[in-house]
Structure 1
Amino acid sequence: MFKKWSLLTRLLAIYALIVFLVIPLSYVGFYKYYQSLAYRTLSESFRWEVTSLAERLDNAIAAADGLAVNTLANPSIENWMKETPDANTNNKVINVFNKMRLDLEIEPDSFNRISIIKENGTFLTFGSSYNREQVRKSIAGLSWFGELQAKPVLVVPPHRDDWDSKGKMVVSVIRSAVPGTIIEVQIPYSYLEAMLSQGTPNTTSKQVILYGDNNEILYPASPPQPASANEVTAENKLLHSGWRLVVTQPMDMLLTSVRKTGYWMAAIAGGLSLISLVLFFIFTSRTTRPLVQLSQAMARIPGDARTNEQLEKRFAGLDTKGTQNEIVHLYHAFTSMLQRMEESKRQAVEAHSRELQAQFIALQAQMNPHFLYNTLTLIGMLGMEEGNEEIPKITNGLVRMLRYVTYDSGELVFLQEEVDHTLHYIEIMKTRYREHLVVDVKLEGDLSSVRVPKLSVQPFVENCMKHGFVGKKYPWRIELRVSVKRAGWEVRVQDDGDGFRADYLEEFSRKRERVGRLGLHADEGGLGMLNTYNRLLHTFGDKLRFELSNNKAGGASVYMGCEGEQTDVQNIAG
């Protein structure tokens, strides 16, 4: 039943299947892929945010530790720790503290106080205000001296500043100096707290927890909510303190944008599917309407009686009436038309071949050769009687040229004969232009061992005289190089004239590409460059090498040749 459907019904059925089955399945697969890709991307972005926040916290602690290290390396401070300090040395060290803080570009908000503390109770501090008596009492109860014996640096979790009666919360970074002396750098806890609360966006949906060395919670102050299975968790460890930063976010919150995008994609896909189905129906109904008319018209293409009889027999054996498929009708009509086209093509090729042969014969028979020979001989004899030696020389060369063109021996001649014909033409031109024309001829190899189409060299030399020197002042120069070797033969004709125009080279290249498809084509009475190239190509085929170009120093150049030994050439003249 499906085979008997019309083209319109079949196309609508196929398209509806695609729209309502393939597209939804493709959308589901694409959405799943997009969801997994978006989840990986968002998860990586979320982990990157946590890593960035951990690095910022770690950098703040590292900056405080760097200030302590630079303090230990300062000679003035080192002397203060080894000697008994006085008021002058205290002021000098405080100035050093201030200068180091500025040189290290430490943010003011990230610095509370730096202090040098000795076990005997001597201390020196720079930064926030303090209570001297309260400091002395705090030093007596410090356990930092003993803890620093086990590790070089000590990071004290958030605690109250015992040196200040206000009890400000700080984080201390402590390093040991000379025996019995330590350096403490305090970071305001509010600075770290600001990072944790403002350093990540969407803080209402994210939970940030900072754990200490002993897994105690340093931030937030209130107990955090326990993590659930539908949350994404990222954890990062701070290198300088050993603390852990853990950030969690609900999965639903992370994929909110993905779901919204999916809803919009589904709505757009459904709307476009319905619209495309309506448009496809309108388009196909209008497109398939002329197919029946087209198939009928192609079936009635006129041909000869034999072809029409074959067409009727072909259709008589097929059940074309049992189907509504216009493509089937179109196929059979086109098959018949193709057969007629092949027959017409064969007839056209035969007619064109006969036309070429007639064209060549007509070229030979354009004049009465005996009348011309006798007339030219008479002119030469009259010249000799008058004592002019150039006249018989010219007429003798012209007679030889005419005999070469008109004698009936097929088109293929020896390359030596073609070169002799060209030299006769050159001698006539030199007699006319005398010292204004310089011709350099170089022949190499056995020219009688190669056969080429007649008039395959002389037309290019004649082209130099007719077109090459139109805009060139005397003297004119033509070079003719002919070489025959075991690897093949080659001929090069070049002048120092105006050269080929760019549009001519482009047109010639375009026409020569059509030669293989359209057959030979003569221009300018059959003696043009394209005609000569066509005859060479027909004779030598793929072995032919032919090129038109312009010399770098000016002038035109024509190169032709054939690779390999000459074994099988075609004579297009007969």
Structure 2
Amino acid sequence: MQLSIQTRLFIGFTLLSSILVASSGFLFYNQTSKDLLERGEETNRQQLYRYQEALDNVVEDLDRISAQVIYSSEIKNYLLEQSEEDPSSYLGFAKRKKYEDLLASLNGPWFISPQISLIKTNGFFLTYGQNMNTSPDLKQHIQEANWIQDALDLDGEKLLVPPHISEWQDNRPFHFALVRSFRFPKTQTPAVVEVQQTYELLEETMEVGRDESSGERVYVVDDNGQVFYPYASAGSEPPAVPKWTGGTKEIERPDSRAADIWSQLRSDYTGLTVLIQQPKTEVMQPIAHLQRLTWILALLGELVSLAIAYVLSATLSSPIRYLQRRLEKLDIDNVSTMPVQKLRNTKELAVLYSTFEEMRARLNQSLNEVLQSQKRENLAHLQAMYAQMNPHFLFNSLTAMASYAEESGFSEFARISQQLSGMLRYSTNSLSDTVTLKQEIQYTVQYMELMKFRYEGQFAYSVQIDPDLEAEAVPKFLLQPLAENSFSHGFQQARPPWLIEVTAEVAEKEAWRIRIRDNGSGFREEALAETQALIEELNAGRIRQLESLSAKGIGHLGIVNTLTRCRLFWNEKVRFKLSNLPKGMEFTIEIRRTS
């Protein structure tokens, strides 16, 4: 079957556009669904961190009180001497009142714990808190409380007791507790301190930020697999919480074909694991919406491509159809008078296309020239603006501010102004790229002093430099970018207090080294691998393309430019070493004095 040119063009354009639409939709769906899943996992991970931090804070408050109690010499002496006194006597009553007040002082004015109890296995019981009405069968309850022996076995280490009904109070409050044992001689009756916290606080802590309309559930289990939250009431089965290794896993429900997405995070401090259970249908709901959206966009794209294919095929085949009609009407009588004006349009299409391509190339060249000219003009204007700012004006202003602050009694602000003035003077005072190690250390110390002022007691540093190395020549801005990296990355995921240690020491007879260490979160695996690859290249003598300092900016030198400048400064005499520590990272630069 013979097909017209327009039909052939239409089919070709349609097939091509269909392939493009289908492949674009497929790539869009795959990439977007992957991004949605990763975003959901990251959301769960952040929520787990929030739950874990909140739970750690609650346990840390109880642990602080328990530690204060067991290390109190007054309380230990009282428990050791308690068997020698009659509790019903006035002296015994007065002593109990005294130590109840001592427990109250350890609890603080905010009643961090609703109830603190001192318990001995011989039946002695002393408590202070919101409920002082104790059960009459205390001695029997003490014998039946199995967790007391568990706490004694831990020999002073903390024990978290899961939520349960109180054995001591008449109104039987529902709570969980942290228990520690006193380290008494074996000849003495063992004793423990129990610091209680209400189950309502645990419930509020684990429900903060959760969407009630969501099917998401939060669980807390200990290392033995016992469910710490939510509490299973008497007569009901505790929730089935799976065990696995890793962070996230898809697990099918045993009673149905449905599946859930589980995420978990264990706290090394409490030994508790927080888990989030989320129905897979809920997790995949945005993917389902995305799938429908992709189909709609693909259908619309196909319809638009069909229309475009029809218009293009009709436009391209129009001159040929016109010529065909004229040839059908051509005969011997009108061969010399039949105009074929449209025939010129076929040539003009090719000429127009060639002209357009030439014009596009010239326009692209002209546009690039205009952009480059404008870029040079803007850079020159920016440099002119920078040149207008007299550094001496800034130095004098900061010095005046420091003097005024010193005279006004604000010595700390005066010191900070002097530190900032010193950094500015160091940055602009000399055009040389080479300074002494002592000058670079002083500049870095000024930077860390500013950061220490900024974080108000959450950051500290130490600097140890061999006096024999103070005159060593080093490239300018060597240490400060490495210290700044700790604040930009290392301390973002680490809790304060933060610490940076800078050491310069003689390594061998003909070598010395600079070592920078922090207690942050260290390098992520991807960043560590990339930096190690850079270090291997530099140690092997391969240097990457280094951006100019004027374009990069002193504040954004980064590790890449810093290490590359070191390699260019010391050549093969320098070696780098980077490693992650259990807490933080350590970076070493070793320089040989001879090749």
Give the TM-score range, shorter chain.
0.3 to 0.5
Give me the TM-score of the superposition, normalised by structure 2: 0.42
Larger Rg over CA atoms: 1
Give me the TM-score of the superposition, normalised by structure 1: 0.44
